[in-house]
Amino acid sequence: MVAKYSEKIANQRKDYLHKITRELVENNDMIVIEDLKTKNLLKNHKLSRVIANQSWSALRLMLEYKCEWYGKKLLIVNPFKTSQICSNCGYDDGKHGLNIREWDCPNCSIHHDRDVNASKNILNIGLEQALVTSTD
């Protein structure tokens, strides 16, 4: 009984990943993601179960082969300091604990949500990489 239920959940998760990755690839010419090292994240025992259940490696794998199929560009960037650098002015506010979800930049006074700021920085890094590779 438990095995059937677990299999059903796994199939639902896989189906959702296929649908969302297809939509992302069909609607975007370029996708930028961070190069997450889930092994490092799993060391945090408070987050390990949540992280393991997210199927991030499966998401990345699906994006890789679907971008190849559709002729789209997938850029993978280093996530180093993406949540700590102000996406507006570039100020490095230093390391924040995971409990700090929002912060104000002391340089430009912009209020940041940690995850939104990181996603903007990841996009900007990806756009810079795309420009560098297109001019080579």
Rounded to an integer, the average pLDDT of 112-118 is 95
Q: Are residues 84 and 65 in the same domain?
A: no
Residues 53 and 23 in one domain: yes
DSSP per-residue codes, 54-74 = T-HHHHHHHHHHHHHHHT-EE
Which is nearest to 72 in space by CA: 43, 32, 132? 32
In this prediction, residue 86 carries a pLDDT of: 97
**Residue 3 reports pLDDT greater than 90:** no
Is the pLDDT at 94 greater than 90? The verdict is no
Look-up: residue for tokens 């996708």?
31
Residue that wins the pLDDT comparison between 48 and 2:
2
Q: Residues 34, 90: one domain?
A: no
CB count, 10 Å around CB of 55? 17
Q: Which domain holds residue 45?
A: 1-77
Q: Let me know whether 53 and 11 are in one domain.
A: yes
130 lies in the same domain as 72: no
User: What is the total count of domains within the chain?
Assistant: 2
Q: What is the pLDDT of residues 13-66, one digit of tens each?
A: 999 999 999 999 999 999 999 998 766 655 666 666 666 666 888 999 999 999
**pTM for this predicted structure:** 0.81
Helices (H) and strands (E) in the chain, counts: 5, 4
Which uninterrupted H or E stretch holds 34? strand 30-34
User: Kindly report the CA angle at 14 between 27 and 74, in degrees rounded to 5?
Assistant: 40
Q: Is the pLDDT of residue 92 over 90?
A: yes
What is the Cα–Cα distance from 136 to 131, expressed in whole angstroms? 9
Average pLDDT score, the chain:
89
